[in-house]
Amino acid sequence: MTSSGIANKKQEKSIDLSKNESGQNDENVLSMTLPTGRIQDKVIDLLNQIGVDVAKNGRSYRPSVTTNGLTVKMLKGQNIPELVALGRHDCGFSGYDWIVERDADVVQLLDLGFDPVRIIAAVPDEIADDKVNRFANLGRKIVVASEYRNLTTKYVEAQGFEAVFLQTFGATEALPPEDADMIVDNTATGTTLKQNRLTIVDELLRSTTRFICNKKALENPVKKKMLEEMVMLMESCLRARDKVLLEMHFGCEDFEKVIEQLPCMKAPTVAKLYGDQGYAVKIAVTNKEVPALIPRLVAMGARDILEFRLEKIVV
């Protein structure tokens, strides 16, 4: 077979993998699910950063992806933990709240820290302070409204409430006081609750976006390697997001004393300047340190200070 024929065969295999819609035809093709909704763009940006180029395709739930051996499908975040646990997909991204809510038996590979929320119980302001007699005069079971059936049921049972569960489909905070006595909902800042005259009375758990996988996917050496490499690269990108690299020049005077005072990850990177005219120094620091640090560096004798954004930090 000619070299061009071999090249064509390789190209055909690559095309077949990228067009594998189910992720089930080749046992080594990794099937990934992405959440629809507000968190999707952050997840796609992170994947693009690690070289997994995902491009939405109109209204299709199957975006194109350039990485061979990987297929991607977009699904509601609430469904992802259960589908990954069932093995319908190898891996995906979901909020921790829905992993707990679905009681999904999955491996949590990485906490991305995206979309931090609290799952809370809240009641109308006017009854919030009276914890003992809050629902005493109702003469009926209380109505607790939520999207989270399992979390709410366990919470209500633990509190000993006589309650009826009301399933909601968004805008849960709009129900009290006419349609519900209590809600269990997620909140980032609590602003929406305050605007609807609701007071938080309990916190059930805290949630962020997680990268999860099916246990059996880790039994496949090819899939395990892909997952481990993706986790390593995603960690390096997340680690770099709150840090910058500062590069500067120092003279030779009292350099040893100066270098001991510099913040850094492990130790500053130091190189002599041409002609023994001083030193070039590099340090990685957090973004929040920079405004106060640069004036200090200047006072210590630093010159020609440069600030660089970092893409990845692999430790």
Regarding whether 256 and 236 lie in a shared domain, the answer is no
Regarding whether 183 and 129 lie in a shared domain, the answer is yes
Regarding whether 74 and 214 lie in a shared domain, the answer is yes
Residue 93 located in a structural domain: yes
Predicted confidence at residue 35, as pLDDT, reads 95
Regarding whether 60 and 28 lie in a shared domain, the answer is yes
- In tens, the pLDDT along 85-116 reads 999 999 999 999 999 999 999 999 999 999 99
Regarding whether 248 and 229 lie in a shared domain, the answer is no
Residue 314 located in a structural domain: no
Q: How many domains does the chain have?
A: 3
Q: Name the phi and psi angles at 7, rounded to 5.
A: -60, -40
Nearest by Cα to 32 from 120, 101, 79, 93: 93
| Residue pointed to by tokens 């560096």 | 297
Regarding whether 37 and 9 lie in a shared domain, the answer is yes
Task: Provide the pLDDT confidence category of residue 130 given band limits of 50, 70 and 90.
Answer: confident
The mean-pLDDT minimum among 56-60, 85-89, 297-301 falls in: 56-60
Task: Provide the pLDDT confidence category of residue 11 given band limits of 50, 70 and 90.
Answer: very low
Regarding whether 105 and 65 lie in a shared domain, the answer is yes
Regarding whether 193 and 122 lie in a shared domain, the answer is yes
The mean-pLDDT minimum among 9-18, 226-235, 241-250 falls in: 9-18
d(CA 284, CA 310): 9
Regarding whether 10 and 105 lie in a shared domain, the answer is yes
Query: Is residue 236 classed as helix, strand or coil in its secondary structure?
Result: helix
Q: How are strands ordered across the β-sheet holding 117-124?
A: 163-167, 142-146, 182-187, 117-124, 198-207
Domain that includes residue 302, residue range: 243-309
| Residue pointed to by tokens 């959440």 | 35
Cis before 177? omega within 30: yes
Centre a 10 Å sphere on the Cβ of residue 217 and count the other Cβ atoms it contains.
22
Angle at 191 between CA 185 and CA 197, to 5 degrees: 75
pTM score, two decimals?
A: 0.83
